[in-house]
Copies of this chain bind each other. A is one copy, B any other.
Amino acid sequence: MADEVILLDFWPSPFGMRLRIALAEKGIKYEYREEDLRNKSPLLLKMNPVHKKIPVLIHNGNPICESLVALQYIDEVWNHEAPLLPSDPYQRAQARFWADFIDKKIYDLGRKIWTEKGEEKEAAKKEFIGALKLLEEQLGDKAYFGGDNLGFVDVALIPFYTWFKGYAAFGNVDIDAECPKFIAWAKKCMQKESVSKSVPDQDKVYEFIVEIRKKLGIE
């Protein structure tokens, strides 16, 4: 019997994009189901009763929640192709550390950039750029964080690039000028079909941010 793989997702979610990219890298066919987050499906509530959040990967009826956990699951189950984590334990630990760093910093700081004002916005911008610079250092001279191929950190990080037009516009920050090496890496990732076909373009996400800002009553 063929594997049944379903992804409960929401199109602008960087966390959902991670799983789309990983599944594309591995060449796994799956059914994509868009969720309405203001009217969550009974399936989502059943499959992720603890957090009630997307993305949820459902593999032969078994739910896997939390995107980094699901990324590792995908890497372990479909290990014949496009390994995401390296085999060396220390390199694996490093990859997990930086993916965790991305989870702790990039999403929250990015959100503050387009929702906060004044000092809080400025502090978030400064910390955001600082975080990108740390990631640039970590990238070094490699093509990807994973080396010659997309790895765990690349897949965890590249989805946020789709939000950069919004960060730049509402944060009034020139990320291209501040972090050229990061941008070069992102553009290289976007040239891969597994990435470009799995994520929305920046304009569409920008329009989404405009909508959310309206709903939140932010001028």
CA separation between A158 and B76, bound complex, in Å?
27
When the two chains form their complex, are residues B66 and A100 in contact, meaning their CB atoms are under 8 A apart? yes
Q: Does A62 sit at the interface, judged by CB under 8 A?
A: yes
A53-99 residues at the B interface, CB under 8 angstroms: 59, 62, 64-66, 68-70, 72-73, 76-77, 89-90, 92-93, 96-97
Minimum CB distance partner of A73 in chain B: B93
A3-26 residues at the B interface, CB under 8 angstroms: none
Count residues of chain A with CB under 8 A from any CB of chain B. 22
> A-side binding surface: helix, strand, loop or mixed?
helix
When the two chains form their complex, are residues B66 and A92 in contact, meaning their CB atoms are under 8 A apart? no
When the two chains form their complex, are residues B89 and A69 in contact, meaning their CB atoms are under 8 A apart? no
Minimum CB distance partner of A60 in chain B: B90
When the two chains form their complex, are residues A89 and B101 in contact, meaning their CB atoms are under 8 A apart? no
Copies of this chain present in the complex amount to: 2
CA separation between A49 and B64, bound complex, in Å?
33
CA separation between A52 and B127, bound complex, in Å?
15
Known contacts A50-B134, A72-B96: does B65 contact A89 (CB below 8 Å)? no
Chain B residues, Cβ within 8 Å of A97: 64-66, 69
CA separation between A65 and B100, bound complex, in Å?
11
Minimum CB distance partner of A70 in chain B: B93
When the two chains form their complex, are residues B66 and A89 in contact, meaning their CB atoms are under 8 A apart? no
Q: Mark A85-120, 1 if CB is under 8 A from B, else 0.
A: 000011011001100110000000000000000000
When the two chains form their complex, are residues B65 and A92 in contact, meaning their CB atoms are under 8 A apart? no
Chain B residues, Cβ within 8 Å of A76: 89, 92
Chain B residues, Cβ within 8 Å of A64: 90, 93, 97
Interface residues of A (CB under 8 A from B): 50, 59, 62, 64-66, 68-70, 72-73, 76-77, 89-90, 92-93, 96-97, 100-101, 134
Which 6 pairs of residues, A with B, have the shortest CB-CB distance?
A76-B89, A73-B93, A69-B96, A64-B93, A77-B89, A69-B97
